[in-house]
Amino acid sequence: SALDAGLIWFEGELVPAAEAKVSVLTHALHYGTSVFEGIRAYKTARGPAVFRLPEHSQRLIDSAKIIGMPVPYSADEINHAVLETIRHNGRDACYIRPLLWYGAESLGVNPGRNRVHFMVATLPWGVYLGEEAIREGAKLVTSSWRRSPGDVMPTKSKAGGNYINSVLANQEARGSGFDEALLLDKEGFVAEGSGENIFFLKGGTLYPIAHSVNLRGITRDTVIKIAEWMGTPVVPTMATRDELYTADEVFMVGTAAEVTPVSSIDRRPIGTGKAGEFSLKMRETYLKVVSGEVPEFDHWLSYVNG
Ligand code: PMP
């Protein structure tokens, strides 16, 4: 693999990435029957720290529960595997990818007979949407692919199969020269980006897009709590795309994207058409929080070296 994963937690042991192999008959490879997480560890004054690890481990377990997958590990065991993997790879910051998947015992659609496997990989990963998207603001385009309705796919689960929807939307947006896709739900309300939740700011109030078919983002929850701590009124709301066009600011949030300002949607400039002041301030504050520089939020960090 071209990915620089170092040692991977695989079946309860740390093994070199080249040795962490699976069968081509793996059920998950054929049907997308896996669940995963995306977590980050940041460099802090006390060594690397994982941001909101217990919440991510719980969401992994919840994702499995949603698709009916039995998980042979507790949240504590998942936390332990993540921390051990980081410790043994010796990076001060990384992106963390835990994955649970059905193995190669049977290729029938029903995975009842298939073993559940677990791995944790850590990767070096910088700014997800690029430095320019942060400086200038990202250019979004409304996707022709709608977010899967809740009675078609279990969108609260980070299940592998669900991500075909994100892949199609992101490919379409990037292929047309935009930075990211804006996915609407089947009624036309704003759902989320291909891997980010959406916020807008209007008249000094911060509006997170309300929960419906969007993922219950951990960064979304973090940003709401930071905004409340900063004294900004926060009102979760449903919104149509045109409501975003006329917002003062729009930004996207996610573990990978962190806080990324949006400068245009469907070629209409948002606010000044540049990265918004509040969005940049929120990005700066978020990066301080994840780096352990804000004592109020230090409880969100799991320090790798204790
Ligand atoms: N929506 C989707 C579809 C995602 O894949 C992600 C990334 N996990 C998010 C939103 C943001 O979630 P989080 O802040 O927990 O990373």
CA 194 to centroid of ligand 1, rounded, Å: 8
**Residue 207: helix, strand or coil by DSSP?**
strand
Protein residue with its CA nearest to atom 3 in ligand 1: 195
CA–CA distance, 290 with 294 (Å, rounded to integer) = 8
State percent of the chain over pLDDT 70. Answer: 100
Query: Mind listing the pLDDT tens digit for each residue in 205-247?
Result: 999 999 999 999 999 999 999 999 999 999 999 999 999 999 9
Q: What is the dihedral of CA 267, 146, 95, 121, to 10 degrees?
A: -150
CA–CA distance, 155 with 234 (Å, rounded to integer) = 24
Catalytic residue among 158, 202, 225, 288: 158
- The pick from 56, 153, 219 for probing ligand 1's pocket by mutation, whose C-beta has the most ligand atoms within 8 angstroms, reads 219
- The pick from 140, 255, 300 for probing ligand 1's pocket by mutation, whose C-beta has the most ligand atoms within 8 angstroms, reads 255
CA–CA distance, 105 with 103 (Å, rounded to integer) = 6
Catalytic annotation on 288? no
With a Cβ cut-off of 6 Å, ligand 1 is lined by 38, 166, 192, 195-197, 214-215, 217-220, 254-255
Domains of the chain with CATH codes: 7-123 (3.30.470.10), 131-290 (3.20.10.10)
Cβ-Cβ contacts under 8 Å for 295 (sequence gap 6 or more) = none
CA 215 to ligand 1: nearest atom: 1
> Interface pTM (ipTM) of the complex?
0.99
- Looking at residue 217, its pLDDT comes to 98
Residue 266 has pLDDT above 90, yes or no: yes
Nearest CA to 255 among 59, 90, 10, 4? 59
